Amino acid sequence: MPFFRFILYRLLQMVVVLLGAITILFVVLYLLVPGDAAQVSLGNHASPEAVEALRSHLGLDRPIWEQYGLYLWRAIHLDFGTSYDLNRSVSSIIADYLPATAYLAGGALLLETLFGIGWGMYLTTNRSLRLSSLSTIASAILLSVPVFFLGLLLQYFFASKLKLLPISGLGGWNPLNLVLPALSLAAAQSVIIAAVMKTTLAEEMRKPYILAARSRGLSRSRAMRSHAMRNALGPVVTILGIDLGVLLGGAMITEIVFSWPGLGRMTYYAAQARDVPLMLGGVIVLVIIFIVINTLIDIVYGLLDPRVRLGGGFGE
């Protein structure tokens, strides 16, 4: 029974957050835009027909609660209307572009997990003041480099100069094409994973069960690998879930640098073309994906570690 209640509770929470997120966008679109939302969104050069079409699509001619109802109803049904530019249903366009974005974000998530956990472990085993300050500076730099600048630098050195890797594009899903975009997307996040990993791992290494494990003959590093690691991974998994949102947002920018045919680049061109339904649809889908995946991570994690489900903290 607690299983069901836990899952039910998390799902309920997810619905609330989803509704909240979609409502925030509604408030901005319908209430914060000064004057005529359709006109503002489309810009001053839009044709009167386009403005009128958007106005009726958004339901701007109806009372506010009806607008909200219509908006919610459509969002729930993933009905984002028709793209002005491409004259196709927005959801079908999104479905076309989604796989490339998922591929990129997945690659980056994998990279940052491997790199972040490895680096965090290395910092925990080799503790010295110099290494620690060096790592702090390096982390700060990686956190400060905008993803597009890093992407351009990587492109320049690895693709243009050294000709080691393809410069851009999906290239028929060739994994080599994934390396540079995923790397630039993952860089800043892996620093955060490493920091979380280092902190939690060092904390676990100070706990009595590590001493007890070593008293049974495990070396320090083996005690870390087979005991401290499992207990330190919890917070890291949670951060990875949160990171996914950053990755999806960053993917929008990375995709432009690397001409990656994903949702981000699609949304970018939609924004350039003032194709409001397409653009809003793209963003809402990314937000929904983020929230749903985070809920799933929480649920799976709760199933794996009963202490979370029962409300206890890690390693208490």
**Is 248 near another protein (CB under 8 A)?**
yes
The tokens describing 252, both together, are 């929008």
User: Residue 56 CB, nearest distance to another protein (Å)?
Assistant: 18
**Is 288 near another protein (CB under 8 A)?**
no
Which of these segments, 45-53, 67-75, 116-124, 143-151, binds another protein (CB under 8 A)?
A: 143-151
Q: How far apart are CA 130 and CA 144, in angstroms?
A: 21
Q: Which residue carries 């990755």 as its tokens?
A: 247
Q: Three-state secondary structure along 81-112?
A: CECCCCCCEHHHHHHHHHHHHHHHHHHHHHHH
**Is 146 near another protein (CB under 8 A)?**
yes
User: Residue 189 CB, nearest distance to another protein (Å)?
Assistant: 6
**Is 293 near another protein (CB under 8 A)?**
no
Backbone angles phi, psi at 312, to 5 degrees: -80, 160
Which of these segments, 12-20, 45-53, 96-104, 117-125, binds another protein (CB under 8 A)?
A: 12-20
Backbone angles phi, psi at 240, to 5 degrees: -60, -40
Q: How far apart are CA 41 and CA 275, in angstroms?
A: 9
Which of these segments, 40-48, 66-74, 75-83, 93-101, binds another protein (CB under 8 A)?
A: 40-48
User: Rounded to whole angstroms, what are the CA distances from 74 to 22, 85, 287?
Assistant: 11, 20, 15
**Is 78 near another protein (CB under 8 A)?**
no
Site for another protein in 200-239 (CB under 8 A): 207-209, 211-219, 226-227, 230-231, 235, 239
8 Å CB contact between 280 and 82: no
Can you tell me which of 76, 134, 143, 164 binds another protein, judged by CB under 8 A? 143
**Is 148 near another protein (CB under 8 A)?**
yes
The C-alpha angle 203, 205, 209, rounded to 5 degrees, equals 115
From the list 60, 71, 39, 5, the residue with the least C-alpha distance to 281 is 71
Q: Using CB under 8 A as the criterion, what x/- string covers residues 115-134 for binding another protein?
A: ------------xxx--xx-
8 Å CB contact between 243 and 284: no
- Residue 217 DSSP label: T
The C-alpha angle 165, 183, 115, rounded to 5 degrees, equals 125
**Is 140 near another protein (CB under 8 A)?**
yes
Comparing CB distances to another protein, the nearer of 38 and 179 is: 38
**Is 90 near another protein (CB under 8 A)?**
no
Comparing CB distances to another protein, the nearer of 7 and 293 is: 293
- Residue 145 DSSP label: S
Comparing CB distances to another protein, the nearer of 172 and 217 is: 217
Q: Which amino acid is at 86?
A: L
**Is 199 near another protein (CB under 8 A)?**
yes
Can you tell me which of 61, 272, 300, 303 binds another protein, judged by CB under 8 A? 272
**Is 179 near another protein (CB under 8 A)?**
no
Comparing CB distances to another protein, the nearer of 141 and 173 is: 141
Site for another protein in 56-75 (CB under 8 A): none
